[in-house]
Structure 1
Amino acid sequence: MDTDTGCELLLRIDPFSRLVPEDIKSVAHRLEMVSFEPGRFVFRQDDPSQDALLVIVSGLVELLVTSERGEEAIVGYRKSGEFFGETVVLSGQSYPGSARAKEPLTCIRVGRDVVEELIRTHPDFSEFFTTLLAERMRRLYETIQSEQNDLFVGKHELPLFNKRVGEIMAHPVNCCRMTDQVSDVSLDMAHKGVGSSVVVNNTGRPVGILSRKNIVYHLVARQSHPVGDCRASQVMNDNFETIAPEAFVGQALAILTRQRQKYLLVIRDEKPAGMLTAKDFIKSRNMGNLTLLQDIRSHRTLDELAGVSGEVDGVLNALLIEGAGTSDTLEVMSGLLERLTRAVIRISEKQMADKGLGPPPVAYCWINMGSAARHEQTLRTDQDNGIIYADPDPKEHRAPGQIKAWFQTFADMVVQGLARCGFELCTGDVMASNPLWCRSVSQWKACINQWGGSFDPEDTRNMTIFLDFRPVWGNQSLADEVRETVFKILSQAEVSNHMLTRDDVTHEKPIGFMGHIRTEKSGPNKDQLNLKTHGLVHLINGIRIYAVNQEIKEVSTLGRLEALTRQGTFDKDTAEILRTGFETLMMFRIRTNVEKLAAGEVPDNYVHPGSMSRKQRELLKDALLAVGHMQKMITRDFNRAWIGFFSG
């Protein structure tokens, strides 16, 4: 076949059809025609990549997969005008399956160098392969997730997190009207044995929830209304969360855990359709640990709180048993751990008052940093926290030293309380008990200015840590004010951005020559991979630097990724690759650490690729390729001169 005929054939096949004839002709001399007799293998499963895309000119090829038991199965065919080998042409991985000529086969061999050149110079051509990788990663991730759920749940039960809200909600809903007397509603609730009533307007739409707690607080404790004349609208809680019955259970549990409310109202056609509380999950199998949601709220002493905090790990096990996805697991566990943190702070405030030290002298905000702030904490790892407190009003003549002393005493109390509840002390001393992380608003602003203009690696480290902070308790406006200063400094000091990218662009790529995973070469973790330091950290850091450049306030990695995609920084397929890579690495990390914890070992984020199934290794490689993709993006989008300067 001559060159012109080969070029014409390529131009009829996607993604080459996205090019113009001149583009194909410019690389025609680098294309190769290859032929195979029937029965001959083009490549075999687990062979190293040939670094080529094979476009079929004539003939038929069958694609096969051999199971770990040695059983061979045909999974597809490719005919004239189609191609194969695309899954590894860019990754350099071993072939996940075999390709064998079914009929006399002739192909155009398009080398990896040609494909990469066309990707670099033609965005439409590049988009095809990005979409291909994104779809492959998502399918493989969902397959592995399902298989791992089977190991925990068993194949004959539907995991709770695969169910819809409508399947577990309590219904029908007890309702009352805005004008109903509270005394009548209370009697109705007692008669029906329910703890709340949804308040609706004249059209039947919900406007609030009236609970026993509302009634006791307003009519007994505060006596804010005459009992005989009080209407439901006067004492109801109009701040409530809603969800659709078609939503998955995981979304509902994440909302219940994250919010400080007891009820989640299920809405269909703008009318109440059902109600969800923690009890509805507890009634479902394996979720009894969610009594923690009630226990954390009810305990008033640190001893009581420390007693129940040990059950947190049981919630994580229950989530795995019930088939929770990675994002659901992160949301629920982070919400639960935040509740525990807020309870410790609340109890510590009371202890300060009981000791005669009084209430907080000025408004303050307790912040979490690190994985806790990013909502990526599943086990109770070490603490990363701080305090931002308001500058005293000069008119009140309060001594700054006395205010500082109060917050230092308070911070020590909270940090030790968290330690009693299983949150280990930070070995790097990134805790509110360290004066460096307990400052007034003006002190924080001055500190951020100093970090932003510094070339000291320690200042860079501190700035990186501080970029991921989330308000947990107190006056959030103080945190917002400080965050605005962070964005202002980084927007004015371009150097700071490149300091933050230094480690990612200079770090060795996790996939080596011939598509092999780079593992530890010696020591106690020989042949193992640290999922955190060699994978997750680089995705988290990369997404962070893009988010900071766009002044995105969200601090969770998945939340930042979603925001960056909405505003067009990442296209949909690139975002899907990064998201699936992150969820994959996090899934392996969570399950590996839980298994080690159950075996009495220390969770250390290490996994042994050699002990994984073939599918798991494929997915792990794809996730690590996403890490490499992020490193390339950072190198492309940030000034190379600055990167070189800071790497020297």
Structure 2
Amino acid sequence: MPLVKHLKDTEPFKHLPEAIFQEIGAASSLKKFPANTLIFKQNDPPTGYLYVIREGLVEITHQTTNGTDVVVDYRQDGAFFGGTPIFTGEPYTGGARTVKPTECYLIPQEILQRAGRDVPNLRDFFTRTVLSRVRQLYSEIVADHSRQALTQMEAYPFKKRLSEIMTTPVTTCGPRETAREVAQKLTEKGVGALLVCGKAKAVLGIITERDLVGKVLGRPEVDPDQVPAEEIMTPHPHSMGPGTYMYEAMSYMMGHRIRHLPILDRGEVVGMVTMRDLMRFRSHKAMLLVGNTREARDFEDLARIRQETLAVAKTLLSETRSTPEVMEILSYIHHGIIRRVFDLCLEQMQLEGKRIPDIRYCFLIMGSGGRREMLLGPDQDSGFIFEDLPEANMAEVDDFFIPLAEKIVTALARVGYPLCHGKVMVNNPAWRGRLRDWRARITDWVNDPEPQKVRYSSIFFDFHPLAGDTSLATDLREIVHQAIREFQGFLYHMMSLDLRYKVPLGLLGRFLLEKSGEHKGQISLKQGGSVYIVDCIRMFALERELNQLTTLERLKALVERNVFAPETAEHIRAAFEALSFLRLRNEIERIEQGEEPDHFLDPYALSKNEQDLLKEAFNAVSKLQEATKRHFARTPF
């Protein structure tokens, strides 16, 4: 990657004059860093350089209030880091460590400082604070909450990434090396597995000690000096990326019954993780929740696991971390429980002598479950897709899937997932069907967008496949895109319905409380705030035919497509995180008081800072609503 050519195409450097580019080209140097090298750590004084990655992978770390290093970002080829101190002179606000061998261009700070005087945008890029007041308040309140430390349950599987625990470098061999040579390498290196690599270090397979015993040593007719590695390896081994969280790897390895997991970055080996590595950080409750859902033998086991999500949520919320990340972890656990419920119900059907039809099907979850934004009290939003079968086959399909659907809904309620008040559940015929049935349903929603249909579509459009043939969900997503493409006016109607309601904040900054009913004197954090962010961002995502599902993934994609400015997106993200934090904390408090979790609270029971946070978040939501209204009011139809 030629440095100057790259900078000319990259913000914020592309606006620099040619003379500066020539200086950068002449004065910059290349430096190689081995894997797992700490380039600088948090609070170190500036090194005097901006780092631009020519080739490699660097993780950016942040130290939490309890001294734990947490990986907050990854930088790959072409990315830069270490720029803010060049203009502020302050210590580094985070650390930088190589994940694999990395080569960086080092640009001297003197050139950039001089350029910053002539091109203010360059200096502003590195020094401006995009943190809105809602972000500042949120950070302070979360830090204070963290210091209170609701619980000290071990939570390593939720904090660590594989890059932080993997072994590097990885022992490898060529495809033609003999079994004896492989055994010698395993013995010399003291490892239980190695990777078989071909040209350009491409991973061809994996050989474990078990492979040697089962395929060579246990077979007298096999000569270990003659049989090559490529004949005893397991080809195309399972792998994960260095940014994967430990809890994901635990579940993945247990599900696939593997003990060694290669860590690849864009096809290149950067490390190896074993089940033993993961078990060194073992948390009993975490392992129970994340891994043992697949081993649960009955619904009572799953109900107990479901109850433990409270302890996990308390732990996660006591750390200084992003609340959407907490929601994703909780969703991962909920998905595992719901999937196991599905499997157990399927087993029950077969034990009753029911034979599953030989068709392609897919079990969907929708709403917050589909978006991976579940908290502690999600209800059931589910459905079935079937392949396009002839009408004559539907009797056989119904004979199996209708009782299966009833079992699923009943079992989920038994485990702890309440029935959906709107009956958006798999036992409702309106939420089952062949692809062509779904196409007809979606076409009806889009072309006749009366309020109830729009509400249904808002839940449905966030669907995610949980079991069965996932390609059916991909086909269904294209049906959604096509329907909206053909009638863009649907998004206008969706906007009109959603934006009839305002955030519960008056002109003088007073909260607008519920005036009667069960929640008199309270406000809804969901219906008054976070749901508008979810809905507005979904509308823009549907318009752009994005396939991202979480609200913040969609927001990031919209920034990349220049729909939102980065600063605007940061305000939206901060408001979403703040509202999610207050919702989750409120749910925890209600459950501990023996009440059902919900999203209503008395805002005047909050501290002054928390009230200010809530008001700032509502203001950000209101601005997003106005921007959405202006945009979709112009939609041609």
Q: Distance in 2 between matches of 1:158 and 1:554?
A: 28
- Give the drift of 1:201: 5.0
The question of 1:427 aligning with 2:421 is answered yes
Q: Distance in 2 between matches of 1:534 and 1:253?
A: 33
Among 594, 613, 621, the alignment partner of 2:615 is 621
Q: Of the two, which has the highest radius of gyration?
A: 1
Please give the per-residue CA displacement for 1:524-568, whole angstroms capped at 9, x wherever unaligned: 544432111101110001001111111112222112111111111
Among 326, 330, 336, the alignment partner of 2:333 is 336
Q: Equivalent residue of 1:471, what SS?
A: strand
Q: Is the contact made by 1:531 and 1:606 (CA closer than 8 Å) also made in structure 2? A: yes
Q: Is the contact made by 2:157 and 2:283 (CA closer than 8 Å) also made in structure 1? A: no
Q: Distance in 2 between matches of 1:158 and 1:579?
A: 25
| Residues 356 and 214 of structure 1: CA distance in aligned 2, closer, same or farther (over 3 Å) | farther
Q: Distance in 2 between matches of 1:308 and 1:550?
A: 39
| Residues 139 and 425 of structure 1: CA distance in aligned 2, closer, same or farther (over 3 Å) | same
Q: Distance in 2 between matches of 1:194 and 1:488?
A: 52
| Residues 161 and 196 of structure 1: CA distance in aligned 2, closer, same or farther (over 3 Å) | same
What is the aligned partner in structure 2 of residue 584 from structure 1?
Answer: 578
Q: Is the contact made by 2:328 and 2:374 (CA closer than 8 Å) also made in structure 1? A: no
Q: Distance in 1 between matches of 2:141 and 2:206?
A: 41
| Residues 517 and 180 of structure 1: CA distance in aligned 2, closer, same or farther (over 3 Å) | farther
Q: Distance in 1 between matches of 2:377 and 2:212?
A: 37
Q: Distance in 2 between matches of 1:472 and 1:164?
A: 24
What is the aligned partner in structure 1 of residue 20 from structure 2?
Answer: none
What is the aligned partner in structure 2 of residue 632 from structure 1?
Answer: 626
What is the aligned partner in structure 2 of residue 24 from structure 1?
Answer: none
Q: Distance in 1 between matches of 2:305 and 2:296?
A: 9
Q: Equivalent residue of 1:371, what SS?
A: coil
The question of 1:347 aligning with 2:344 is answered yes
- Give the drift of 1:323: 4.2
Equivalent position amino acid for 1:488 in 2: Q
Among 314, 317, 332, the alignment partner of 1:317 is 314
What is the aligned partner in structure 2 of residue 240 from structure 1?
Answer: 238
- Give the drift of 1:208: 4.6
Q: Distance in 2 between matches of 1:432 and 1:391?
A: 18
What is the aligned partner in structure 1 of residue 509 from structure 2?
Answer: 515
What is the aligned partner in structure 2 of residue 534 from structure 1?
Answer: 528
Q: Distance in 2 between matches of 1:158 and 1:458?
A: 42
| Residues 158 and 359 of structure 1: CA distance in aligned 2, closer, same or farther (over 3 Å) | closer
Q: Equivalent residue of 2:396, what SS?
A: helix
- Give the drift of 1:518: 2.9
| Residues 275 and 455 of structure 1: CA distance in aligned 2, closer, same or farther (over 3 Å) | closer
Q: Distance in 2 between matches of 1:500 and 1:143?
A: 36
Alignment of 1:224-263 (within 5 A): 231=229, 235-236=233-234, 238-244=236-242, 251-253=245-247
| Residues 282 and 330 of structure 1: CA distance in aligned 2, closer, same or farther (over 3 Å) | farther
Q: Distance in 1 between matches of 2:492 and 2:189?
A: 63
What is the aligned partner in structure 2 of residue 399 from structure 1?
Answer: 393
- Give the drift of 1:171: 7.2
Please give the per-residue CA displacement for 1:116-140, whole angstroms capped at 9, x wherever unaligned: xxxxxxxx9xx99xx8774443333
| Residues 226 and 581 of structure 1: CA distance in aligned 2, closer, same or farther (over 3 Å) | farther
Among 466, 489, 492, the alignment partner of 1:495 is 489
| Residues 641 and 356 of structure 1: CA distance in aligned 2, closer, same or farther (over 3 Å) | closer
Q: Distance in 2 between matches of 1:391 and 1:158?
A: 45
| Residues 474 and 184 of structure 1: CA distance in aligned 2, closer, same or farther (over 3 Å) | farther
Q: Distance in 2 between matches of 1:347 and 1:139?
A: 46
Identity %: 29
- Give the drift of 1:519: 3.0
Q: Distance in 1 between matches of 2:618 and 2:398?
A: 46
Q: Equivalent residue of 2:499, what SS?
A: helix
| Residues 603 and 176 of structure 1: CA distance in aligned 2, closer, same or farther (over 3 Å) | farther
Q: Distance in 2 between matches of 1:377 and 1:213?
A: 40
Equivalent position amino acid for 2:626 in 1: K
- Give the drift of 1:358: 1.4
Q: Distance in 2 between matches of 1:305 and 1:227?
A: 49
Q: Equivalent residue of 2:625, what SS?
A: helix
Q: Equivalent residue of 1:275, what SS?
A: strand
What is the aligned partner in structure 2 of residue 75 from structure 1?
Answer: none
What is the aligned partner in structure 1 of residue 438 from structure 2?
Answer: 444
Q: Equivalent residue of 2:535, what SS?
A: helix
- Give the drift of 1:456: 3.2
| Residues 285 and 300 of structure 1: CA distance in aligned 2, closer, same or farther (over 3 Å) | closer
Among 142, 146, 167, the alignment partner of 1:145 is 142
Q: Distance in 1 between matches of 2:440 and 2:612?
A: 48
What is the aligned partner in structure 2 of residue 462 from structure 1?
Answer: 456
- Give the drift of 1:366: 0.8
The question of 1:366 aligning with 2:363 is answered yes
What is the aligned partner in structure 2 of residue 295 from structure 1?
Answer: 292
Q: Is the contact made by 1:582 and 1:623 (CA closer than 8 Å) also made in structure 2? A: yes
The question of 1:415 aligning with 2:393 is answered no
Q: Equivalent residue of 1:515, what SS?
A: coil
Please give the per-residue CA displacement for 1:219-241, whole angstroms capped at 9, x wherever unaligned: 79xx9x98985846755363534
Equivalent position amino acid for 1:339 in 2: G
Q: Is the contact made by 1:370 and 1:469 (CA closer than 8 Å) also made in structure 2? A: yes
Q: Is the contact made by 2:172 and 2:196 (CA closer than 8 Å) also made in structure 1? A: yes
Q: Distance in 2 between matches of 1:326 and 1:197?
A: 38
Q: Is the contact made by 1:289 and 1:311 (CA closer than 8 Å) also made in structure 2? A: no
| Residues 583 and 211 of structure 1: CA distance in aligned 2, closer, same or farther (over 3 Å) | farther
Q: Equivalent residue of 2:627, what SS?
A: helix
Equivalent position amino acid for 1:570 in 2: F
The question of 1:484 aligning with 2:510 is answered no
What is the aligned partner in structure 1 of residue 273 from structure 2?
Answer: 275
Question: Which ranges in structure 2 are unaligned for 5 or more consecutive residues?
Answer: 1-120
Q: Equivalent residue of 1:370, what SS?
A: coil
What is the aligned partner in structure 1 of residue 23 from structure 2?
Answer: none
Please give the per-residue CA displacement for 1:265-317, whole angstroms capped at 9, x wherever unaligned: 4569955445265x756644866422333312234555554454433333323
Equivalenced residue count is: 503
Equivalent position amino acid for 2:402 in 1: Q
What is the aligned partner in structure 1 of residue 467 from structure 2?
Answer: 473
Q: Is the contact made by 1:408 and 1:433 (CA closer than 8 Å) also made in structure 2? A: yes
Relative to the length of structure 2, the TM-score reads 0.68
User: Mean Cα displacement is larger for which, 460-469 or 175-184?
Assistant: 175-184
Among 516, 537, 550, the alignment partner of 1:543 is 537
User: Mean Cα displacement is larger for which, 418-427 or 471-480?
Assistant: 418-427
Q: Distance in 2 between matches of 1:419 and 1:609?
A: 31
Q: Distance in 1 between matches of 2:340 and 2:269?
A: 34
Q: Distance in 2 between matches of 1:189 and 1:461?
A: 59
Among 547, 551, 554, the alignment partner of 1:557 is 551
Q: Is the contact made by 2:489 and 2:635 (CA closer than 8 Å) also made in structure 1? A: no
- Give the drift of 1:600: 1.5
Q: Distance in 2 between matches of 1:189 and 1:237?
A: 18
The question of 1:597 aligning with 2:597 is answered no
Equivalent position amino acid for 2:307 in 1: G
Q: Is the contact made by 2:514 and 2:521 (CA closer than 8 Å) also made in structure 1? A: yes
Q: Is the contact made by 1:177 and 1:202 (CA closer than 8 Å) also made in structure 2? A: no
Q: Is the contact made by 2:533 and 2:572 (CA closer than 8 Å) also made in structure 1? A: yes
- Give the drift of 1:499: 2.0
Q: Is the contact made by 1:161 and 1:322 (CA closer than 8 Å) also made in structure 2? A: no
Equivalent position amino acid for 1:412 in 2: E
Q: Is the contact made by 2:150 and 2:314 (CA closer than 8 Å) also made in structure 1? A: no
Q: Distance in 1 between matches of 2:456 and 2:627?
A: 24
User: Mean Cα displacement is larger for which, 285-294 or 195-204?
Assistant: 195-204
Q: Is the contact made by 1:362 and 1:389 (CA closer than 8 Å) also made in structure 2? A: yes
Q: Is the contact made by 1:292 and 1:311 (CA closer than 8 Å) also made in structure 2? A: yes
Relative to the length of structure 1, the TM-score reads 0.67
Q: Distance in 2 between matches of 1:482 and 1:494?
A: 18
- Give the drift of 1:154: 8.8
Q: Distance in 2 between matches of 1:623 and 1:275?
A: 41
| Residues 557 and 239 of structure 1: CA distance in aligned 2, closer, same or farther (over 3 Å) | farther
CA RMSD of aligned residues (A): 4.2
